[in-house]
Amino acid sequence: MTGDTKDGIGLAIVGCGTVGRIRAMFARQYPGVGWIGLCDIDEDIGKRLAEDCKADFFTTSYTELLERPEVNAAIIATDENHHAGPCLSAVENGHVMFIEKPLATDARESEQVANAIRESGLDAVIGYTQRFRRRFLTIKERLVTGQIGDVTSVVTRAFMNRMVPLATTRRTNDRAHLTPMVVSGTHSLDMSLWLMEGKTPVSVYARSVDTVLSQHGTKDSTFGLFTMDDGTIWSMNISWALPEVWPGSVYGIEIGIVGTKGVIDIEDTHRDLVMATEVPQGSGYSPEGFKPAFERHVDFLTSYPPGDIWNKQLWGPMREETNAWFSRIHMGAETPHATFEEGHKNLMLTQAMDLSAARGEEVKLPIDVSELS
């Protein structure tokens, strides 16, 4: 990789919201990070984080931050629609990157960013935190070592309450690509493809419904059926329209993987730790200024994907993921991060599902960017 951080990481974080804040606090604790600069268009949010993580620099201009001589690595944690500009600026300045999913929400921008990173030779990864959970790493190892033979059939189901789409769509009027698959289903899609490594989708047929969330400019659910190049079939389904009082802080996943010699059945809905209380519970996903319309009094504990709070600190997969990235760029460690190439492929597949649902017909894969634009 280019972008030398062996003598110390000079870290730029573009976006100081929920996830940018989490990763900034981890950065301050990592001994290899010697300098932290922050950027956010909301000066109050940015300066508050700068004080909390003892940042060395703050600005409202990402170009100013990414051009600083101290910077050699960047975390891009802006809203989903605004990744392309900071990513291209980071490439221009030769910085290795950690980019929150998706790579972009527009297929043309995603291709542009992917091409720029590829041509630069820079190392860039995408934030798919689920890959750093112990259970999925264990499953991956069993599949790689052939414990259930060759995979022939996969079923993936993700259920989410509607707090994420409500919080996401309220931040922008540009909602054309803020669909359940592009914004959130991409996590379970990435996990499924990672577990099926080596298999390539050749077609998808999908359907969507928008009864509840159409007033917010998005869809309720998208269900799809992929056919892989070796004949494997994969059902990929998501609904993010469950009521706000649904006990899962964000979402639960179920994945069934059938092979020629065995099966792996994954129940990841977090119903094994349930708390019911008279004390109102937070929303789990709570970006700045978002207030749920209803109180939650039942909670599936551990269902917040980044992790859980102990002693005012976040512990869990997002800590593992962030620290692993620091080790990746500082010491050359091998990590399970999703690459930018995988991130671009994931966006193309989620949008191919949306296109199939819009057309009401099967879509052949791979698909050209022009068809998605």
Computed over every residue of the chain, the mean pLDDT equals 95
Percent of the chain with pLDDT over 90: 87
pLDDT in tens, 141-159: 999 999 999 999 999 999 9
Confidence band for 175, pLDDT divided at 50, 70 and 90: confident
pTM assigned to the model:
0.94
First and final CA of the chain: distance in angstroms?
32
What is the number of helices (H) and of strands (E) in the chain?
A: 12, 18
CB 229 within 8 A of CB 199: yes
Integer angstrom CA distances of residue 179 from 208, 210, 248: 10, 10, 20
203/367 Cα distance (integer angstroms): 9
Residue 283: which pLDDT band, with cuts at 50, 70 and 90?
A: low
pLDDT at 104: 94
| Residue pair 85/112 in contact by the 8 Å Cβ criterion | no
Q: Cα–Cα distance between 205 and 352 in angstroms, integer?
A: 9
- 199 Cβ partners below 8 Å, 6+ apart? 151, 193, 228, 229, 230, 232
Among 29-38, 279-288, 325-334, 341-350, the range scoring the smallest mean pLDDT is 279-288
Structural domains of the chain ordered from first start: 9-122 (3.40.50.720), 131-311 (3.30.360.10)
Distance of CA 276 to the CA centre of its chain: 29
Q: Are strands 73-76 and 9-14 parallel, antiparallel or unpaired?
A: parallel
For the residues 325-338, what does the mean pLDDT come to?
Answer: 98
Q: Which helix (H) or strand (E) holds 202?
A: strand 201-209
Residue 350 has pLDDT above 90, yes or no: yes
**Which residue shows structure tokens 């690509």?**
177
Using CA atoms, how far residue 72 sits from 10, 61, 112, 227, 326, in Å, is: 5, 17, 22, 41, 12
* pLDDT on residue 287: 59
Residue 232's CB is within 10 A of a number of other CB atoms, namely 19
Q: Is the pLDDT of residue 320 over 80?
A: yes
Q: Which amino acid is at 163?
A: M
pLDDT of amino acid 174 = 80
Report pLDDT digits (tens) over 57-69: 999 999 999 999 9
* Token output for 252: 């639960």
- Whose tokens are 């917040």? That residue is 304
Give the separation between CA 132 and CA 43, rounded to whole angstroms.
32
Q: What pLDDT sits at residue 286?
A: 61
Q: How many angstroms separate the CA atoms of 319 and 305, rounded?
A: 11
For 259-273, the pLDDT digits (tens) are: 999 999 999 999 999
**What is the phi/psi pair of residue 142, to 5°?**
-65, -35
Instruction: Tell me the three state secondary structure of residue 178.
Output: coil
Q: How confident is the model at residue 337 (pLDDT cuts 50, 70, 90)?
A: very high
SS3 343: helix
Q: Which of 279, 288, 318, 289 is nearest to 302 (CA)?
A: 318
